[in-house]
Amino acid sequence: IAKKTNKSIDVVQYRKKMLEKNGYMYSYGISLDSSKFGYSMNVLFLYMQNMAPVRENAISNFFQNHPNIRWAHKAIGQQIILVETLTNSQKNFQNLITEIKNRFSDIISSYDSIVEFENF
| Span 49-101, pLDDT tens digits | 998 999 999 999 999 999 999 999 998 877 899 999 999 999 999 999 999 99
Report angle CA 108, 109, 113 to the nearest 5 degrees.
80
Angle between helices 90-103 and 53-65 in degrees, nearest 10: 160
The answer, as to whether pTM is greater than 0.85, is no
